[in-house]
Chains A and B, each alone.
Chain A
Amino acid sequence: MEPLSNRKKVLEQKPMDFWERLYLPAIFQGMGVTFRHMFKKKETIFYPEVEREFSENWRGMHSLKRDEQGRERCTACGLCALSCPAEAITMIAAERQKGEEELYREEKYAAVYEINMLRCIFCGLCEEACPKEAIYLDGPIVPADYLRKDFIYGKDKLVEDPFKA
């Protein structure tokens, strides 16, 4: 049969010659390779002091965004929670009262918004589902902690700083 590509290479196993059967030359060759690696540039990144640059589409910790006037964008529609395959997001909605117009953009807002970082798989579906562009996974690596309850992030950790934008 005609080969599809001509890249096929038939390897034949030749019996080892005397030099190869001595075994020691091969070992010295290998040791030369490892010795050369001693003087190569080290690949180590000293993590807490130096951080490797993330790729552009990196998905890290969530942040709840504010609009141009510093009001929270989230309207507690629940689409993010619905889209979440890991069921990591819960929220309790509340109605905006008179005098809170500078705080929340729409009439409805999330009084409680919690993401369980142990459940979250950082797939970014909440980001895609959000109709208000209120949630983005643009934060850093979620830090380690000691207790399970400390991994449930509330609004205090998720909402963006008001004066940032």
Chain B
Amino acid sequence: MELAFIIEKFALVTVIFMISLTVAAYSTLAERKIAGYLQDRVGPNRAGPGGMFQPLADGLKMFFKEEIIPTDSSKALFILGPSLALLTSLIGSAVIPWGESIQIAGRLVSLQIADVNVGILYIFGVVSLGVYGIMIGGWASNNKFSLMGAIRAASQSISYEIPMGLSIIALLMATNTLSMKEIAEQQHGMNWNIFYQPLGFIIFLVCSFAETNRTPFDLPECETELVGGYHTEYSGFKMGAFMFAEYLNMFLASAVMSTLYFGGYNYPGMDWVNSMLGPLFGPLIGMGVLLVKIFAFIFFFMWVRWTVPRFRYDQLMNLGWKVLIPLAIANIVITGIVITIFDKL
């Protein structure tokens, strides 16, 4: 029994790991393709049909490039930076419920690696850790541009974690649980949280743009001012690790938003589908639906990136502290009042 459990979890971890890495790799291609299409171009199309093998070519290029470690940098930290960024963006997906439990050979297998009862807090912890990779990398480079990028990343991350957390509080008041699994289960069918927390969702969305360092909040790496920002001094696969971490963060943020606000693996008519396909393939369809939602969010991230120009630093701080935090607090108050009124009735 114990062995089966370990095998089951190990298999699940491997599958999720592979999915995350594949999605991140192909996000790089998708980004370039979408950028091309939004700008009336076609994007990369030479490596394989429609550019299918572009991520492989890019990966190979990263591997074979010369890795330069600046002489004045602190070497251990310089290597630790990208490793930490990659690590933290990978471990976040452990608490995402990828689907309902499936039944294999009479065993109920949960499609969630760890059902932590404080799943949301875990994700918050991991996301806040993510900025350490950037900070350590920027600091260890011993370069003024890198340091500026790291400082910006840190202050941006601190500023936007507050409204993010506040918008989650309103969600928790509505759902009464911190467990990702229970939140997903509550949104059965079309009973999604977006209909109860539209303002909270918008705040969460804007903050996740800031947390993943995506345009319009990509000040830590803004090319026009800081050369490359925190990864100015990085080359070869360490640079690739930073880039990969960004795409993994985007994948994680999309997964979290889909699970918290867009019903996760739930979709209208899922009971009927489950009764038709049985306890093995029904939940797998749900997992596919979740992936589709994630891809839609990733597309949204890229769509915004190629539309909205970058914020100025003071505008960023203005938006974070003077707009989003009051809005999030107002959202909490409104949610509280509505819940009290409906409970009394």
Knowing A37-B37, A41-B40, A42-B40 are in contact, say whether A30-B308 is a contact too (CB < 8 A). Answer: yes
Contacts of B37 in A (CB 8 A): 37-38, 42
Q: Which residues of chain B from 290 to 325 have any CB-CB distance to chain A below 8 Å in the complex?
A: 303-304, 306-308
Q: Which residues of chain B from 25 to 67 have any CB-CB distance to chain A below 8 Å in the complex?
A: 37-42
Contacts of B306 in A (CB 8 A): 34
Contacts of A98 in B (CB 8 A): none
Interface of B is mostly: loop
Q: Which residues of chain A from 28 to 57 have any CB-CB distance to chain B below 8 Å in the complex?
A: 30-31, 33-35, 37-38, 40-44
User: Is the beta-carbon distance between A37 and B39 smaller than 8 angstroms?
Assistant: yes
Question: Total number of A-B contacts with CB less than 8 angstroms?
Answer: 33
> Shortest beta-carbon distance, A13 to chain B, in Å?
18
User: Is the beta-carbon distance between A31 and B307 smaller than 8 angstroms?
Assistant: yes
User: Is the beta-carbon distance between A34 and B41 smaller than 8 angstroms?
Assistant: no
Give chain A's interface residue range (CB within 8 Å of chain B): 10 to 19
Partner of B307, one of A24, A30, A42, A44: A30
Q: How far is the CA of A27 from the CA of B216 in the complex (A)?
A: 11
Q: How far is the CA of A69 from the CA of B39 in the complex (A)?
A: 53
Q: How far is the CA of A38 from the CA of B306 in the complex (A)?
A: 12
Contacts of A24 in B (CB 8 A): 202
Partner of B42, one of A34, A37, A44: A44
> Shortest beta-carbon distance, A127 to chain B, in Å?
36
User: Is the beta-carbon distance between A31 and B41 smaller than 8 angstroms?
Assistant: no
User: Is the beta-carbon distance between A34 and B40 smaller than 8 angstroms?
Assistant: no
Q: How far is the CA of A33 from the CA of B41 in the complex (A)?
A: 15
Contacts of A42 in B (CB 8 A): 37, 40-42
> Shortest beta-carbon distance, A27 to chain B, in Å?
6
Q: How far is the CA of A129 from the CA of B307 in the complex (A)?
A: 52
Q: How far is the CA of A43 from the CA of B43 in the complex (A)?
A: 11
Q: How far is the CA of A24 from the CA of B216 in the complex (A)?
A: 13
User: Is the beta-carbon distance between A43 and B41 smaller than 8 angstroms?
Assistant: yes
Q: How far is the CA of A42 from the CA of B306 in the complex (A)?
A: 17
Contacts of B202 in A (CB 8 A): 24
User: Is the beta-carbon distance between A35 and B42 smaller than 8 angstroms?
Assistant: no
Contacts of A38 in B (CB 8 A): 37-38
Q: How far is the CA of A44 from the CA of B36 in the complex (A)?
A: 10
The residue in chain A whose Cβ has the minimal distance to the Cβ of B323 is A23
User: Is the beta-carbon distance between B307 and A40 smaller than 8 angstroms?
Assistant: no
| Residues of chain A having any CB pair with chain B under 8 Å | 24, 27, 30-31, 33-35, 37-38, 40-44
Can you give 5 A-B contacts (C-beta < 8 A)? A30-B308, A34-B303, A34-B306, A37-B38, A43-B41
| Ranked 9 nearest A-B pairs via Cβ | A34-B307, A38-B37, A34-B38, A44-B42, A31-B307, A43-B40, A30-B307, A42-B42, A44-B41
